[in-house]
Amino acid sequence: MNSRIDDTALQVSLGPLKLQNPVIAASGTFGYGEEYAPLIPLKRLGAIVTKGLSLEPRKGNPPPRVTETAAGMLNAIGLENVGVKAFLQEKLPKLRKLRCPILVNIFGNTLQEYGEIARRLGDVEGIAGLEVNISCPNLKAGGSIFAADPRSVFQVTSKIRHATSAFIMVKLSPNVADIGKIAQAAEEGGANAISLINTLVGLAIDAHTRTPILGNITGGLSGPAIKPVGLAMVWKTAQSVKVPVVGMGGIVGAEDALEYLIAGATAVEVGCAHFIDPRAPLKIIEGIHKYLQAHHLPDVPSLIGSLRLKKDSAS
C-alpha cells in the first residue's frame, strides 16, 4: 500500500469497539471465520461476524437452499448452526488465534432465548461483541419477526443489554414499514450500534414445473440487486439514531462500500460477494485507502455521512 496517508486513516470506532478499518465480513457468508483462513489473511479485516448461532444446534431447511437471481441470490439456509456449546468448545479456541475482532451473530425465537444466549456468550474472552439478528419469528407473539415491531425490538435489545455488558449491535431487517422508528427502538433498548440490512424476502419460481425453486418456498434476497434498498435504509437510519450504523447489502467493490460510508455508515459488511471472490474485503480495504488519497481526505471518519444534497433536494 502506498502510504502518503498512514494506515491509521482507516480506523473507525463503533462506540466502544475500535476497528483497524471499516470492512467486516457479514454473518452467514464467512462460515465461522476459520474456513477462510487458508484463503485470505484474516488479521487484515476490520472484524468478522460469525454464522448465526442459536442456543441449540439447528439442521436448517430442506434443499435446494440457494438459487441465483438477477444481480443477486436467494438463500433459505434456515440458520443451520452448531449451537452455543459446540461453538464455545470447538470453534472459539481457533477464532481466538486469528488476531481479528470476532463478533458473534446470535438469534432466538423467544425473548428468553435471546437473553440466555447473550448471557452465555457476551462476556467470553475472544468475543469482541454480539450482532443480534432480529429477523426471526417471535413465537410468543404469533410468529411475526421481532424486527417488524418497535416494541419487540426494544424488548429484545433491553433483554440482551441486561444479560451482558458486552458490545451489542442490533441487525435490522429491511422488511419493515419505518426503519427509523425500529432503529430508535434498538437504540433506546441499549444497542451500541445498528447494522442493516438483512436480506429481503423473495420468491423464485420454475415456470416449467410451476414449483418454487427453494425447498423453503421463499428465501432472502442479497447481492447487488439490494444495494439501493440498503443505501436508502442506512441513510434514513443514520439520521434517526446517535449510535454508529454499519451498512450492508450488495457490496462487491470499494465503490459500493464508499457509497455506504457517504450515506452515513461508520463501517460496512461484505456478504455474498465472498462467494464470488474470497479476497473481496481486502480489495475493498485497498480501494478505500486509494480513494482517500485521490480525494485528499485525511481519514475514513471524514467521509462518513458526507452525502452532498443538492440545494433543492427534499430533506
Ligand X SMILES: Cc1cc2nc3c(=O)[nH]c(=O)nc-3n(C[C@H](O)[C@H](O)[C@H](O)COP(=O)(O)O)c2cc1C
Q: Which triple of cell numbers denotes residue 122?
A: 457476551
Nearest distance from C-beta of residue 28 to ligand X, angstroms? 2
136 assigned to active site: yes
Q: If binding is defined by CB under 6 A, does position 105 make contact with ligand X?
A: yes
# residues near ligand X by CB under 6 A: 25
The residue with cell 463501517 is: 267
9 versus 270: smaller Cβ distance to ligand X: 270
Stretch that binds ligand X, among 137-145, 161-169, 181-189, 269-277 (CB under 6 A): 269-277
Contact 130, 106 (CB under 8 A): yes
State the DSSP H helix or E strand holding residue 102, giving kind and residue range, or none if neither.
strand 102-106
**What is the rounded CA–CA span in Å between residue 148 and residue 162?**
22
Per CB under 6 A, does 171 bind ligand X? yes
Q: Is 157 in the site for ligand X (CB under 6 A)?
A: no
Q: How far apart (Å, rounded) are the C-alpha atoms in residues 25 and 59?
A: 23
Please, which of residues 34-53 interact with ligand X by CB under 6 A?
Answer: 51-52
Torsion of CA 42, 48, 51, 53, to 10 degrees: 130
Q: Nearer to ligand X by C-beta: 144 or 302? A: 144
Q: What Cα–Cα distance (Å) separates residue 276 from each residue in 29, 104, 157, 273?
A: 11, 23, 34, 5
Determine the interface stretch with ligand X among 7-15, 31-39, 151-159, 246-254 (rule: CB under 6 A).
246-254
At 191, which helix (H) or strand (E)? none
Least distance (Å) between residue 223 CB and ligand X = 5
The contact set with ligand X (CB under 6 A) reads 26-29, 51-52, 75, 77, 79, 105, 133, 171, 198-199, 222-223, 226, 248-251, 270-273
